[in-house]
């Protein structure tokens, strides 16, 4: 994680080019201290009190090491920090990194236009609320090698109480199995519609080729009676994560037999 308390804060009056230059300077200093920019394969960038991630995406993209394979933008301690402290903005330039294989975005305000990342195998969007526009952009992206996709769906980021959370209709292109042909792990997390997604996924063409599935941070509490009839559809999974769903003790035994390995609240894993 980058640090630099002595760095002057970014200002709304400073031209964007200077923001990018500062990002490249900060990253350059960090890489020099790490000893060899050309050999860096993985990088995590967290919140800095002097500048926002959204203002620096272009600069970060331009300053990246040529062999970078993994980038985590918005790294933080979720027990202390808030996602709202890390606005992400337009992240399209980061999909263009030539050697990138894993991208993790954590924060709010994730935006994406067109993305073409032929080597990307893992994508995690740990966002406070994923917009339908960005979700559609992900589904339209050229990601032929993608094997792992995690989506935090959340609620709406607007103040409009009439806005509905992302539901099964918006995820239908994924459930139909016509995109991301190599996908073997799916995370549909941080949503109030977990049980609806579980019921739809149980009858979807996609489920048969998944090896692991996560409904972590969801709403599977006291819904076993609704899922019991479709439970056999998940039996082939190597791993099923239902952690942080507040599943009561009386239902845990049912869940534990649902897949080869079931991660529950008792052994939940923080990411």
> What percent of the chain has a predicted confidence (pLDDT) above 70?
76
Q: What is the DSSP letter of 271?
A: -
pLDDT tens readout for residues 2-16? 322 223 333 333 344
- CB-based contacts of 205: which residues, under 8 Å, 6+ apart? 175, 176, 177
* Tokens coding 82: 């808030």
pLDDT tens readout for residues 95-154? 998 999 999 999 888 999 899 999 999 999 998 888 999 999 999 999 999 999 999 998
Backbone torsions φ then ψ of 196, nearest 5 degrees: -65, -40
Most confident of 27-36, 45-54, 178-187: 178-187
pLDDT tens readout for residues 199-227? 999 999 999 999 999 999 999 998 888 99
Mean pLDDT lowest for which of 47-51, 149-153, 260-264? 47-51
Q: What is the 3-state secondary structure (H, E, C) of 214-233?
A: ECCCCCCCCCHHHHHHHHHH
Single out the residue of 93, 4, 92, 95 nearest to residue 47, CA to CA.
4
How confident is the model over 49-73, as a mean pLDDT?
A: 77
pTM for the whole structure: 0.82
Confidence at residue 8, expressed as pLDDT on a 0 to 100 scale: 32
- CB-based contacts of 52: which residues, under 8 Å, 6+ apart? 10, 86, 87
Confidence at residue 22, expressed as pLDDT on a 0 to 100 scale: 52
Single out the residue of 122, 170, 112 nearest to residue 150, CA to CA.
122
How confident is the model over 236-242, as a mean pLDDT?
A: 96
Confidence at residue 252, expressed as pLDDT on a 0 to 100 scale: 86
Q: At residue 51, does pLDDT exceed 80?
A: no
> What percent of the chain has a predicted confidence (pLDDT) above 90?
49
| Kind and range of the H or E run holding 133 | helix 132-140
* Tokens coding 158: 């607007």
The SS3 call for residue 6 is coil
Confidence at residue 35, expressed as pLDDT on a 0 to 100 scale: 52
Residue 54's Cβ-side half-sphere holds a number of Cα atoms within 13 Å equal to 14
Confidence at residue 163, expressed as pLDDT on a 0 to 100 scale: 59
Summary mean pLDDT of the chain:
80
Q: At residue 25, does pLDDT exceed 80?
A: no
Confidence at residue 62, expressed as pLDDT on a 0 to 100 scale: 77
- For 10-77, the DSSP string reads P-TTS-HHHHHHHHHHHHHHHHHHHS-GGG--EEEEE-BTTB-GGGGHHHHHHH--TT--EEEEEE--
Of the two residues 59 and 173, the one the predictor is more confident about is 173
């Amino acid at each position: 994680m980058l640090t630099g308390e002595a760095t002057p804060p970014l200002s709304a009056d400073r031209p964007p080019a200077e923001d990018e230059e500062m990002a490249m300077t900060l990253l350059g200093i960090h890489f020099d201290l790490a000893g060899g920019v050309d050999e860096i394969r993985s990088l995590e960038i967290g919140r800095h009190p002097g500048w926002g991630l959204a203002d620096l995406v272009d600069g970060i993209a331009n300053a990246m090491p040529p062999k970078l394979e993994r980038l985590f933008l918005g790294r933080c301690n979720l027990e202390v920090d808030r996602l709202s402290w890390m606005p992400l903005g337009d992240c399209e330039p980061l999909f263009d990194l030539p050697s990138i294989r894993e991208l993790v975005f954590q924060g709010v305000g994730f935006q994406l236009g067109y993305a073409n990342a032929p080597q990307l195998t893992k994508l995690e969007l740990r966002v406070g609320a994923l917009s339908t526009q960005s979700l559609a952009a992900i589904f339209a992206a050229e990601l032929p090698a993608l094997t792992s996709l995690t989506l935090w769906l959340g609620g709406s980021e607007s103040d409009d109480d009439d806005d509905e959370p992302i539901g099964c209709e918006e995820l239908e292109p994924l459930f139909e199995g016509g995109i991301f042909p190599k996908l073997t792990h799916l995370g549909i997390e941080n949503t109030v519609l977990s049980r609806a997604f579980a019921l739809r996924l149980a009858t979807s063409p996609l489920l048969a080729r998944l090896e692991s599935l996560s409904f972590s941070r969801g709403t599977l509490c006291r819904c076993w009676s609704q899922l019991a009839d479709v439970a056999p559809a998940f039996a082939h999974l190597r791993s099923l994560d239902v952690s942080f769903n507040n599943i009561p003790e009386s239902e845990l035994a049912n869940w534990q037999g649902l897949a080869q390995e079931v991660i529950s609240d008792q052994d939940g894993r923080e990411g």
